[in-house]
Amino acid sequence: METTEKPVWFVLLLVIVGGFAGLLMGQAIGIGLASLIYSGDILSAMLNPRDENLRVPLLIVQATTSLGGFLIAPYFIWNAMRKKGLAYFNLKVLNPAFILLIFGIVFSFVVVDSIIIEWNQNIHFPDFLKSFEQWARAKEDQLADLTKMLTNFSSPAEFAIAFLVVAIFAGTCEEFFFRGIIQTEFFKGTNNIHVAIWGTAFLFSAIHAQFFGFVPRMLLGGLFGYLYFWSGNLLVPIVAHIFNNGFSLIMIYLFQLKIITTDFDSPQAAPISLIIPSLIVAIALLYFFKKRFSPSNTSIS
């Protein structure tokens, strides 16, 4: 018996609603697990997270929230609708040389993106949008304080837990959701890969709710989208995302240990003498990467 394929809008709606439900369920499970190792009232503490002892419990909540909202619930709903398993994402193991190529692309791109980060951080709105600017800035400062608390590591063990959650879990789960599912469905619905990539990148940045980092994060999402489309292997953007998050964490920790003197948590742009050669390197590596794959290799084409 022939079955009718579900429309793109219907699948996207179910995936997004299911993802939201997964976020709530994952958060509830995380709070339950975190309460086992936190002596105080964890719900009250989470409303104003300044207690250093809350760092690991919050990372646990973040891990279960990511798994539930960006991976488990969306994947099972999408799989039920499309009847496609993990093999669809072409998760082929990457060789070390190829991983180094991905690292080179992301690193050079991040250096160039730093000038966009500085610009976006210092953007100002016209007078009639001042109230929005004040709200967005307050939200940005609140999230920045939370990030600083979570990354002010008191031991190598805390750093290892943060790396697992912020780099590996977040990189894997978010790429499954955004590039693996959302970008695939957008492409299916629009038949235009550029619309699919940038539409997904827009959502990827918007969901982080940080307006003063919106543009550079969207550009990063666009990079991940093209890496997936060109390679057809979802492990490529996953590795790129893990490297981006992990490298930032490593640099922050090295700065805290006073091993390096550059604060990578600062929104200040890299010097132009570094940005220009990084731009040239990024373009060259992306050109090589794209040429490395033919359109027939892309599982979403």
Give percent of the chain above pLDDT 70: 96
Q: Is the domain of 56 the same as that of 112?
A: no
Q: Percentage of the chain surpassing pLDDT 90?
A: 67
The answer on 77 and 107 residing in a single domain is no
Q: Could you say which of 60, 83, 106 is where a domain stops?
A: 83
Asked if 142 and 3 sit in the same domain, the reply is no
Q: Report DSSP state, residue 256.
A: H
51 and 164 in a single domain? The answer is: no
pLDDT level of residue 196 (50, 70, 90 thresholds): very high
Examine the domain organization and report whether 228 and 292 are in the same domain. Answer: yes
Q: What is the DSSP string of 112-173?
A: HHHHHHHHHHT----GGGHHHHHHHHHHHHHHHHHHHHHT--SSHHHHHHHIIIIIIIHHHH
Q: In terms of domains, do 72 and 123 share one?
A: no
Residue-number span of the structural domain to which 134 is assigned: 92-297
Contact 62, 245 (CB under 8 A): no
Question: Exposed, middle or buried by CB within 10 Å (0-12, 13-18, 19+), for 254?
Answer: middle
Q: For residue range 197-222, what is the model confidence (pLDDT) as tens digits? A: 999 999 999 998 788 889 999 999 99
Tell me the pLDDT band of 1, cut-offs 50, 70 and 90.
very low
- Among the candidates 64, 83, 102, a domain finishes at 83
pLDDT at position 44: 81
Q: Region 214-235: what's the mean pLDDT?
A: 96
Q: Is residue 160 domain-shared with residue 202, that is, in the same domain?
A: yes
171 and 258 together in one domain = yes
Q: With 90 as the cut, is the pLDDT of residue 183 above it?
A: yes
In this prediction, residues 37-62 reach a mean pLDDT of: 84
C-alpha span between 177 and 200 (Å, rounded)? 10
265 and 153 co-located in one domain: yes
pLDDT mean across residues, the chain: 90
Q: Are residues 72 and 97 in the same domain?
A: no
Q: Is the pLDDT of residue 243 over 60?
A: yes
The pLDDT value given to residue 2? 44
Q: Do 54 and 136 reside in the same domain of the chain?
A: no
Query: In sequence order, what DSSP letters do the residues of 10-36 get, joined into one string?
Result: HHHHHHHHHHHHHHHHHHHHHHHHHTT
For residue 297, the model assigns a pLDDT of: 47
Number of domains the chain contains: 2
**pTM (2 d.p.):** 0.91
Query: What average pLDDT does the segment 137-154 reach?
Result: 83
* 203 and 150 part of one domain: yes
Last residue of a domain, one of 83, 110, 131: 83
79-104: pLDDT as tens digits: 999 988 899 999 999 999 999 999 99
